[in-house]
Amino acid sequence: MHKILPLLLLVACSGPNGNEPGLDKYGRTPETAAQYAAAVERRELKPGMHKSEIREVMRGDPTRISRKSIGSTRYTVWEYRDRSLDLYLDDDGFLMRWSGP
């Protein structure tokens, strides 16, 4: 019984999805999460944004989704053709870079 108690405490104290305590669902501290929330409110893209935040900023889904390699790095590319904007996301759905206006 004594060996199970520390494990139960560890599970009970972990944050969302098993992250460290105090981190949001994207693994961000409250301060960093607030910065991303403010960027979403201003409708500004910020590297590290999750695809759900990108949809809020862009007010919708991309026109086209494709895969692209740049060097040895593979990206999922979200194209917003009406804005001439390409967003490059990593395999976890976080914004790495973009090209366009």
Give the model confidence (pLDDT) of 4-58 as tens digits.
444 333 334 434 444 577 898 999 999 999 999 999 999 999 999 999 999 999 9
10 and 38 in a single domain? The answer is yes
Q: How many domains does the chain have?
A: 2
Look at 10-24, 27-41, 61-75, 79-93 and tell me which has the smallest mean pLDDT: 10-24
- Domain that includes residue 56, residue range: 48-101
Do 59 and 75 have their domain in common? yes
* Distance of alpha carbon 17 from alpha carbon 98, whole angstroms: 28
Does residue 54 share a domain with residue 38?
Answer: no
User: Do 61 and 89 lie in a common domain?
Assistant: yes
- Amino acid present at 48: G
Domain finish residue from 10, 25, 42: 42
Contacts of 85 (CB under 8 A, 6+ apart): 79, 98, 99, 100, 101
